[in-house]
Every structure is written in structure tokens, then in C-alpha cells.
């Protein structure tokens, strides 16, 4: 009786968009579905920029799976989309709304705590009808195996659970995908790091400063010289009565430049354009960070192993399409396709074929093609080689290049708006830093604003976050504390900094037998669980137990 | 499985809630009544049996009509039925006459039509925040003639075997944990260290469902409330209330009052000289040289 093990037809790990979509489709197909989420509430561990896209060509959209989604779970639709090329106070703004609207049915700004917990309620209702449901506060810590075969999951808080299908929708730091060998965290150049601040601004002020009505919203992107040469960009999205302000950078570039992520965010926050928007209204309510996979390099073309199917960030399916970031919509598509694949395979009496069927659907529905565009492979093979990249940069900054930029003038805006080009831009300094800077210098206008505030310092940002500390259960172990192996974490960790004593990582000078050595030390207390150090340092890294650790109120 | 949880309303002793008069006596009128904090563990234990075994939880309290609010609080911890034993005759009871009254209530539940018969488990919390005697539970179990397990920190029920297995805390020179088994129907007194444990998803899901159901029920808690008088329970007036209380209070020590004014000096944390002085003053108090 009590020692008999528990079994569900499907166990979905993670209640982000990928897990929610998978569970909704499974439950609607009558599959007994259990969803396990480690946060105190769905969304409490999650961070996004974030704009949710519904693509015209996508097999599934979030509002099709969850009716009333837009009315009840999102902030504002994005009706205008701008790219600001910045060189100091010189700014040249391109209207790239056309690019944004390409293949887009709609796109809304969201905050994850609200969005995910709203979806979780629906998922719980649907799954309850199958004899399952959604549980929070449960962290899945590994795959249950029987004779080498995956047969279910193991958890911190529950006894092992057997399942015919396990969906790894556990996000960018997927412990399950790692466990199954579907993903590794070795290469910083396969990841972006996102850092974000949510700033409360009354809706009247948003309406006034951005010139938008109740059902309108804007997206502003920033590139150029305001990020100390780190490859990536900044964003400002309008929510109902707050702004999401953040940055997304290539992780390898952050490491190389020894950049401090929170300072890069501050550079954006204090830029003259933001000074105008925020004047008298800088009320930062949450600081957060997370990694995102670069699908061009990390999307696994075959994201399954036995009964385990990985979806969303756990399968590396986060697409950076030029300045447009699409992860949530792909997580939804993939999650739903995985659910569909299992339901079909089960109907045919061959549930073990779900993985192959899922892989085929990803390909045939065009999801894989977007995640790993063919054109990028060709362009990057050429453009990302260092001599070529350097040559491009020096050409652009030369008088000839500058003349070219001036001659192109308005046509540059069209080029930037090309959906094809945006998919294949190489990941070099050129598109993020050099070209925008030259554009701003040659074509831009001076912006005069000056910030009437100091951005919150790191200690306050950390102090304002909610943590349920898990004393005695450190979820990160530093395996090699030498600066060579783990030093990058001191600067790259978004809650640590070189000259800051209070973050997770610190560099220390240790005196032993008359000699001095630099060592890295770790304190997991203020960790926002972004996963950066799992990639850049030598650690044994896992998530904290269910409900423990940081709890985002906004996300 | 039917569990009855005994709970008591006590003055809210939390800081800022409690009022004392000039002599240090508690001002009942000015101090809100809340559920005895230790009883929350008894409720948790009953809830756990309901989640794992199914069935229902009744909560019972003896007290004046004002105690309804305490029962309302109990409702929000997933109770199905609430019983208030309330009568002037029951007033000023000591632990013994309270036990007689409560056992009368439990027996009445057992007799009631449509009920599953005698409650399988009766739960009480460890001592109350006001009286602190810890006697009412054991005395009630004696009146009911049930086996009793006290200081329970974890509990499993086997409905087929009709037994309960409990871990109990035995305090002595060192804290020991003892595992005991008892036949049902039984009486359980929970320890403040009681922790419910839900290691199966199925149980957590049921817990979640019950919680949602209860949220609706709390709104209309009075529909689930039954009030019984001494007459309803057929209790002999000589054995309840003040008349039935053999305990005589020989005296009450007033709570020493804090001095109304204390001297305070503000020390600036960055004033080194003042800090030094402060440390010197504190050193003897801390037992230093
Ligand atoms: C700064 C930033 C900006 C972004 N901007 C955008 C944008 O504008 N538009 C866009 O579409 N995308 C954006 N993204 C990417 C997007 O947020 C992700 O691609 C998307 O959230 C992936 O969804 P998912 O369901 O795969 O994973 P997640 O949303 O990460 O969900 C994973 C869930 O699994 C849970 N979980 C993890 N491990 C376990 C475990 N062991 N046990 C139980 N539960 C577990 C987590 O708590 C979480 O709820 C951005 C990301 C960042 C960081
Ligand atoms: S300790 Fe690691 S996971 Fe935590 S915030 Fe820093 S880099 Fe991110």
C-alpha cells in the first residue's frame, strides 16, 4: 500500500511557458499529468525581458492554448518598436516596427510572476481532471533510472515517481537535460546573460512620456558604445505601470571584458534617453538576472532520450533573431508539440516513439529552422572568424566605411528591418558595437537628458530581494577555487563585483607559509540562480530545494 | 477516518495585542482571543490524516459564544465541522471539569445520526498558552477511556490494521525519539515539534484541493457550526464548570511590571570614543573582565 511507488503517465518538470504548454496539451488529450515546479509559485524563479510573441507561422501560440491569456496575463501589446544606435549622447533611432511585426500575430509585454502563476492555475485545473495536477515547492533533482533506462524522476521533497513520459521544461539551467546528456554548460559562447530592473512608473506617466494609450506599448532597444564594448544590447519595455529595463549580452563577451553586469545595466539606466523617461520616477522594485541559451549554437536538434523530452530553454530553444528575442514562444511551440507527440504515440500504442515523433514535428513545423537558421551557419562560418571580424570593424570605422554609412542613410533602417538579415547577423562586435556607434556618430542627434537619480547600488538591490535561505544546504560547490578556474565568476556573477564584499563570489588573498595566493571564495546567500557561474567557473551547481532561494515578485 | 480536534481560545499574548491592568492582571476584554498556538499542530496532524486516509475533521472547543472566532480560524485549517460547547454552567471550569465536558461532546458526536460513529482519533495540542497545565488532553482521554500518545512529532495511520504509529519526543537528559503503536480509536497529543510529512505527489495534490475547498467554506463557517449546551450533552451540573472543578487557586503572582521609564543614551556608531565607552560599560554585564 504505502510502499508502492507512485506513477503518472506524464510528469512535466517546470511550470514556465514550455511546461505549461506541454501540460495543457497532454491534459486536453486525457493524459494523466503531474506538473512539478520548484518555486513557491510558478514564475517566482523566472525572469524574462520580456515580450511574448504569437507567430503567424508557429504551430501553437500561447493564447490558443490558454484563452483569455492576453486579457488576463499580459501587460501591454507592443505597438511600436525602436532601435537606438548610441555613441555617447549622439543617438540615431530606427523604427523597426516592421521587423517586429514580421510573422507576428501579436506581441505583448509580460512580467513572469503574474504570467506564469496565471497559466499555472489553468494548468492545474486541466491536469486535475486527468487525476494529476500542478505542485509547487517541489524540485526534481534527477532522473529515475531502472537498468539504465529513464523511468521517472527523483525529487528532494517527494519519493521517486515513475512516469511513461518525462518532459524537461526546467529552463536554461536544466538539471534533467544535463543528467540525460542532452546539454552541457561548458561553452560561455553558447549563452547570453540577461540582467534586468523593473522600475515602477505610474501608467499616466508612461502614457505621457511614451505617448501611448491604454492598449498600446513600446519596445526600445539599445546598442552602440554604452556597454563598454560587450556584445549585446539593452531594452526598455512598457508594462502597465512599470518599465522592464535590462540587457542581454553574450556571456563569453562579459567574461572577456571582465564586465560587471550590474554596471552595464546602470549605463543604460542613466543614458540621457532614459533620464527623460524616468525623470522624477526612478523607483526600482526588482533586480534580477538569468542566462539564456543561444539557439543558433545550443538548440539540440534531437532533444530527447528514452522517455525524456526536453522543451524550451532546456533544449536550447531560445532564439535571438537580431535584436528580437524569442524564447517563450518557442518554448510554447515545443512544449505543445512534445505533448502532442506523446498523445499520438500513445494512441498508436507506441508511447516509446514519442521522442522521435517530437523531433520530427520540431523539424516539420519549422521550429528547428528558426532556431538554427541555415543562413546563419554560412554567415557565421565566415563572419565570426577573427581576421574577418577585425577587418570588417576596421573598414567600418575607416573614412570609407563612415562615408558608406552616411550614403546609406535612411536605407540602413530598411536593412535593419530585414527579417532575413536579422537571423544571420554574425555574433561579433560589428553589429552590436561598431556599426551602431558609427551610425550614431555619423547620423545621430544629440540627446540632452541627465539622470536626476543614482541607480540603486548592488547591496541595496540584493537586499531588496526576497530569499528563503536554505541554511546548511548550499546548492553550489566551488570545485576549484583558483582564480584561473573560477575567477571569471567574480565579475560575471550579476550579484558579485570585483570591489564588492557582499556578493556570491569574492576574490581573496590567502597567505600560506609566507607566500600569497589569490583565491575565489563563494557565499551562495545572495544568489539569484542565474546559472552564470555554472558555465564560467568550476562548480558543482544545482538548484536550491523546492521553495528555497530567491523569489522574484516581478520576473 | 473521523478526527476530532480539541482547541481552546486563549488571550493573544503576542506583543502589542495583550493588555494588563495596573496590578498586572490580564484585561480579558481588551485582549483578543485567538486559537491556542499549540493547537495548530493538532489541527495539522488531523489534516494530515484527512489528506492521507480521507474522511473528515471536526473541531471542538468549550467556551463562551465569543469563541466562534477561534473556530472560524480552525475552519481555515481545513476543518469540516465545528462544535462549540457553550453554557453558563460550563464557565470557570478547571482542567478536570473541562475534560468531562469535552468528553461529553466527543461522545455526543459519536451518537449523532449520519456520523461515522465513534471518532477514530481525538487530537489535542500540548499545553495552552494561558493555563500551561497540559492536563486537559490526557484527562479527556481518561474520560473517554482511550489509549493516549503524547508529544507526538510525526504520525502514520494504518486504516486496515486500525492502528496508528507515532514518533514521540521523550525529554530527559537527552532528547530521545520513541516510536509507538496504538490501536484505534486513540487519543493523540501533538508536540510543538510536530511536522506533517507529505512525500507523495498524490497527497500534496489532495492537500491543495482541500485547501481550495476550505477557502470557500470559511466564508460560511457558521453553517458548519453546532453549539451544544450542558443540557444537550446531558451533563450533570455538579461535574462541570466551577462546581465540578476540584482545583483551588491558592494565589496569583502578578507579572512584574517593566519600569515605565528607562534611561537611554544614543551612541553614534561612527563615534569611536563613545563606542569604546559603551563597550567598557557593557563588559562587566557580559561577564568579561
Ligand atoms: C533578460 C531576459 C530577457 C528575455 N527576453 C525575452 C523576450 O523578450 N521574449 C521572449 O520570448 N523570451 C525572452 N527571454 C527568454 C525567455 O525568458 C525564455 O526563453 C523562456 O522563459 C523559456 O521558457 P521555458 O519554459 O523553457 O523555461 P523557464 O521559463 O525558465 O521555466 C522553467 C521552469 O522550470 C522550473 N524548474 C527548473 N528546474 C526545476 C526542477 N529541478 N524542478 C522543478 N522545477 C524546476 C523553474 O522554476 C521554472 O519555473 C529573455 C530571457 C531573459 C533572461
Ligand atoms: S552565484 Fe552563480 S548562479 Fe548565483 S547569481 Fe552568482 S553567477 Fe548566478
The whole-number pLDDT of residue A1 equals 41
What one-character DSSP code corresponds to residue A482? B
Is a pLDDT exceeding 50 seen at residue A503? yes
Is a pLDDT exceeding 80 seen at residue A224? yes
- First-to-last CA distance in chain B? 63
Q: How far apart are CA B214 and CA B77, in angstroms?
A: 8
Residue A393 CA to ligand 1 center (angstroms) comes to 34
Q: How far apart are CA B183 and CA B160, in angstroms?
A: 11
Which residues on B lie below 8 Å from A135 (Cβ)?
A: 201, 204-205, 208
Query: Which is higher by pLDDT, A189 or A514?
Result: A189
- CA neighbor of A237 nearest in space, from A28, A438, A50, A482: A50
Mean pLDDT of A427-453: 92
Q: How far apart are CA B73 and CA B35, in angstroms?
A: 7
Query: Which is higher by pLDDT, A403 or B257?
Result: A403
- Quick check: A78 and A108 in contact, CB under 8 A? yes
Mean pLDDT of A160-171: 98
Residue in chain B closest to A138 (alpha carbons) equals B201
- Quick check: B40 and B125 in contact, CB under 8 A? yes
What one-character DSSP code corresponds to residue A315? G
- CA neighbor of A122 nearest in space, from A79, A177, A67: A67
Q: Do B204 and A135 touch (CB under 8 A)?
A: yes
Residue in chain B closest to A11 (alpha carbons) equals B201
- Across chain A, mean pLDDT equals 95
Q: What is the DSSP string of B236-286?
A: -GGGSTTTT--------PPPPPPPS--------TT-HHHHHHHHHHHHHHT
Express each pLDDT in A117-140 by its tens digit.
999 999 999 999 999 999 999 999
Q: How far apart are CA B111 and CA B63, in angstroms?
A: 22
Angle formed by the axes of helices B95-111 and B136-144, to 10°? 50
Say whether residue A188 is in contact with chain B using an 8 A CB cutoff: no
With cut-offs at 50, 70 and 90, classify the pLDDT of residue B114: low
The whole-number pLDDT of residue A149 equals 97
Per-residue cell: A29: 488529450
The lowest-confidence range among A49-58, A129-138, A290-299, B83-92 is: B83-92
List the beta strands (DSSP E) in A89-204. 90-95, 104-109, 133-135, 140-146, 149-155, 161-168, 191-200
- Across chain B, mean pLDDT equals 87
Express each pLDDT in A9-38 by its tens digit.
999 999 999 999 999 999 999 999 999 999
- Quick check: B49 and B3 in contact, CB under 8 A? yes
Angle formed by the axes of helices A399-408 and A435-443, to 10°? 70
A196 Cβ closer than 6 Å to some ligand 1 atom:
yes
A12 Cβ closer than 6 Å to some ligand 1 atom:
no
Mean pLDDT of A196-211: 98
Express each pLDDT in B67-91 by its tens digit.
888 888 888 778 899 999 999 988 8
Most informative mutation of A21, A35, A50, A135 for ligand 1 (most atoms within 8 A of CB): A50
Express each pLDDT in A239-260 by its tens digit.
999 999 999 999 999 999 999 9
CA distance A12 to chain B (A): 13
Is a pLDDT exceeding 50 seen at residue A352? yes
Pairs of CB atoms within 8 A across A/B: 30
Say whether residue A161 is in contact with chain B using an 8 A CB cutoff: yes
Task: Tell the residue number behind the cell numbers 488532553, with chain if given.
Answer: B137
The pTM (predicted TM-score) of the whole model is: 0.92
The whole-number pLDDT of residue A401 equals 86
- Quick check: A104 and A56 in contact, CB under 8 A? yes
Task: Report the C-alpha dihedral over residues B230, B234, B236, B239, rounded to 10 degrees.
Answer: -60
Percent residues over pLDDT 90 in chain B: 45
Most informative mutation of A328, A494, A543, A549 for ligand 1 (most atoms within 8 A of CB): A328
The 3-class SS string of A420-472 reads: HHHHHCCCCHHHHHHHHHHHHHHHCEECCCCCCCCCCCHHHHHHHCEEECCCC
Per-residue cell: B147: 489509549
Q: How many CA atoms lie within 13 A of A543 on its CB side?
A: 29
Is a pLDDT exceeding 90 seen at residue A200? yes
The lowest-confidence range among A21-25, A337-341, A408-412, B26-30 is: B26-30
Which residues on B lie below 8 Å from A128 (Cβ)?
A: 205, 209
Q: Which ligand ends up closest to the CA of A172? A: 1
Ligand 1 atom at minimal distance to the Cα of residue A318: 19
∠ CA A514-A516-A519, rounded to 5°: 140
ipTM above threshold 0.95:
no
Is a pLDDT exceeding 90 seen at residue B274? no
Residue A522 CA to ligand 2 center (angstroms) comes to 10
Residue in chain A closest to B208 (alpha carbons) equals A135
Percent residues over pLDDT 70 in chain B: 94
Helix (H, G, I), strand (E, B) or coil at B74: helix
Question: Cβ < 6 Å from ligand 2: which residues?
Answer: A 476, 489, 493-496, 504, 527-533
The closest CB to that of A133, out of B156, B200, B205, belongs to B205
- CA neighbor of A23 nearest in space, from A168, A204, A207: A168
Q: Do A36 and B201 touch (CB under 8 A)?
A: yes
Percent residues over pLDDT 70 in chain A: 99
- Quick check: B90 and B240 in contact, CB under 8 A? yes
A152, A157, A547, best to mutate vs chain B, most B CBs in 10 Å: A157
Q: Is the dihedral of CA A33, A34, A40, A45 positive or negative?
A: negative
The whole-number pLDDT of residue B288 equals 56
Express each pLDDT in B34-46 by its tens digit.
888 889 999 999 9
The whole-number pLDDT of residue A2 equals 45
CA distance A134 to chain B (A): 8
Express each pLDDT in B148-166 by its tens digit.
999 999 999 998 999 999 9
Residues of chain B numbered 133-192 and touching chain A (CB < 8 Å): 156, 160
Amino acid at each position: 500500500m504505502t510502499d508502492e511507488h507512485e506513477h503518472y503517465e506524464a510528469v512535466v518538470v517546470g511550470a514556465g511557458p514550455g511546461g505549461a504548454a506541454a501540460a495543457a496539451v497532454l491534459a486536453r488529450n486525457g493524459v494523466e499529468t503531474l506538473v512539478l515546479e520548484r518555486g513557491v509559485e510558478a514564475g517566482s524563479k523566472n525572469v524574462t525581458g520580456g515580450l511574448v510573441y504569437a507567430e503567424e507561422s508557429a504551430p501553437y501560440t500561447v493564447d490558443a492554448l490558454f484563452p483569455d491569456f492576453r486579457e488576463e496575463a499580459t501587460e501591454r501589446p507592443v505597438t511600436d518598436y525602436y532601435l537606438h544606435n548610441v555613441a555617447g549622447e549622439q543617438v540615431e533611432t530606427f523604427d523597426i516596427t516592421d521587423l517586429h511585426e514580421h510573422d507576428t500575430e501579436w506581441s505583448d509585454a509580460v512580467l513572469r510572476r503574474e504570467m506564469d502563476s496565471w497559466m499555472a492555475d489553468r494548468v492545474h485545473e486541466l491536469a486535475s481532471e486527468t487525476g494529476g495536477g500542478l505542485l509547487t515547492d517541489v524540485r526534481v533533482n534527477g532522473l529515475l533510472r531502472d537498468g539504465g533506462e529513464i523511468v521517472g524522476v527523483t525529487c528532494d521533497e517527494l519519493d521517486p515517481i515513475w512516469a511513461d513520459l518525462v518532459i524537461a521544461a526546467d529552463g536554461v539551467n536544466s538539471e534533467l537535460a544535463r543528467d540525460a546528456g542532452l546539454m552541457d554548460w561548458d561553452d560561455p559562447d553558447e549563452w547570453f546573460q540577461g540582467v534586468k530592473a523593473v522600475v515602477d512608473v505610474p501608467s499616466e506617466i508612461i502614457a505621457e512620456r511614451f505617448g501611448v494609450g491604454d492598449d498600446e506599448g513600446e519596445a526600445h532597444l539599445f546598442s552602440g558604445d554604452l556597454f563598454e564594448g560587450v556584445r549585446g544590447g539593452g531594452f526598455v519595455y512598457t508594462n502597465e505601470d512599470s518599465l522592464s529595463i535590462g540587457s542581454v549580452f553574450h556571456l563569453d563577451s562579459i567574461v572577456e571584458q571582465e564586465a560587471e553586469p550590474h554596471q552595464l545595466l546602470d549605463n543604460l539606466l542613466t543614458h540621457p534617453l532614459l533620464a527623460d523617461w524616468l525623470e522624477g520616477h526612478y523607483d526600482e522594485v526588482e533586480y534580477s538576472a538569468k542566462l539564456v541559451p543561444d539557439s543558433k549554437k545550443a538548440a539540440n536538434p534531437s532533444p530527447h532520450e528514452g522517455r525524456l523530452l526536453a522543451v524550451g530553454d532546456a533544449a536550447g530553444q531560445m532564439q535571438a533573431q537580431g535584436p528580437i528575442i524569442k524564447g517563450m514562444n518557442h518554448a510554447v511551440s515545443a512544449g505543445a508539440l512534445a505533448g502532442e507527440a506523446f498523445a499520438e504515440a500513445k494512441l498508436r500504442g507506441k508511447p516509446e516513439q514519442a521522442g522521435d515523433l517530437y523531433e520530427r514535428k520540431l523539424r516539420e513545423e519549422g521550429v528547428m529552422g528558426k532556431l538554427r537558421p541555415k543562413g546563419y551557419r554560412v554567415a557565421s562560418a565566415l563572419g565570426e572568424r577573427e581576421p574577418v571580424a577585425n577587418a570588417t570593424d576596421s573598414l567600418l570605422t575607416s573614412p570609407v566605411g563612415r562615408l558608406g554609412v552616411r550614403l546609406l542613410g535612411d536605407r540602413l533602417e530598411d536593412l535593419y528591418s530585414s527579417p532575413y538579415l536579422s537571423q544571420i547577423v554574425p555574433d561579433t562586435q560589428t553589429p552590436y558595437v561598431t556599426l551602431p556607434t558609427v551610425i550614431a556618430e555619423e547620423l545621430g542627434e544629440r540627446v540632452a537628458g541627465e539622470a536626476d537619480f543614482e541607480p540603486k547600488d548592488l547591496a541595496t538591490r540584493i537586499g531588496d530581494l526576497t530569499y528563503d535561505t536554505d541554511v546548511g544546504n548550499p546548492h553550489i560547490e566551488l570545485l576549484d577555487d583558483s582564480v584561473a578556474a573560477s575567477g571569471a565568476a567574480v565579475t560575471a556573477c550579476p550579484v558579485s563585483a570585483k570591489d564588492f564584499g557582499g556578493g556570491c563570489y569574492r576574490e581573496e588573498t590567502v597567505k600560506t607559509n609566507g607566500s600569497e595566493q589569490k583565491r575565489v571564495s563563494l557565499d551562495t546567500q545572495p544568489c539569484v540562480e542565474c546559472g552564470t557561474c555554472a558555465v564560467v567557473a568550476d562548480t558543482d551547481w544545482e538548484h536550491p530545494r523546492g521553495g528555497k532561494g530567491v523569489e522574484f515578485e516581478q520576473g | 477516518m473521523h478526527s476530532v480536534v480539541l482547541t481552546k481560545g486563549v488571550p493573544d499574548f503576542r506583543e502589542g495585542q495583550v493588555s494588563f491592568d495596573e496590578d498586572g492582571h490580564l484585561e480579558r476584554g481588551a485582549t483578543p482571543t485567538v486559537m491556542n498556538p499549540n493547537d495548530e499542530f493538532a489541527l495539522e496532524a488531523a489534516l494530515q490524516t484527512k489528506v492521507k486516509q480521507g474522511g473528515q475533521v471536526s473541531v471542538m472547543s468549550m467556551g463562551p459564544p465569543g469563541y466562534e472566532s477561534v473556530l472560524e480560524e480552525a475552519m481555515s485549517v481545513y476543518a469540516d465541522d465545528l462544535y462549540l460547547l457553550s453554557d453558563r454552567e460550563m464557565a470557570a471550569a478547571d482542567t478536570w471539569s473541562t475534560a468531562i465536558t469535552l468528553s461529553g461532546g466527543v461522545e455526543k458526536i459519536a451518537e449523532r445520526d449520519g456520523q461515522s460513529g465513534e471518532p477514530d482519533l481525538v487530537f489535542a495540542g500540548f499545553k495552552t498558552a494561558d493555563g500551561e497545565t497540559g492536563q486537559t488532553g490526557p484527562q479527556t482521554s481518561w474520560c473517554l477511556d482511550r489509549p493516549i500518545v503524547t508529544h507526538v512529532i510525526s504520525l502514520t495511520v494504518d486504516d486496515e490494521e486500525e492502528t496508528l504509529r507515532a514518533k514521540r519526543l521523550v525529554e530527559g537528559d537527552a532528547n530521545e525519539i520513541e516510536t509507538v503503536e496504538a490501536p484505534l480509536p486513540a487519543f493523540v497529543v501533538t508536540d510543538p515539534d510536530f511536522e506533517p510529512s507529505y512525500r507523495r505527489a498524490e497527497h500534496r495534490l489532495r492537500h491543495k484541493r482541500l485547501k481550495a475547498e476550505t477557502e470557500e467554506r470559511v466564508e460560511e463557517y457558521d453553517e458548519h457550526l453546532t453549539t451544544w449546551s450542558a443540557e444537550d450533552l446531558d451533563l450533570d451540573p455538579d461535574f462541570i464548570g466551577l462546581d465540578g472543578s476540584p482545583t483551588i487557586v491558592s494565589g496569583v503572582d502578578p507579572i512584574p511590571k517593566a519600569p515605565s521609564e528607562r534611561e537611554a543614551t544614543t551612541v553614534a556608531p561612527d563615534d569611536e570614543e563613545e563606542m569604546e565607552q559603551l563597550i567598557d560599560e557593557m563588559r562587566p554585564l557580559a561577564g568579561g573582565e
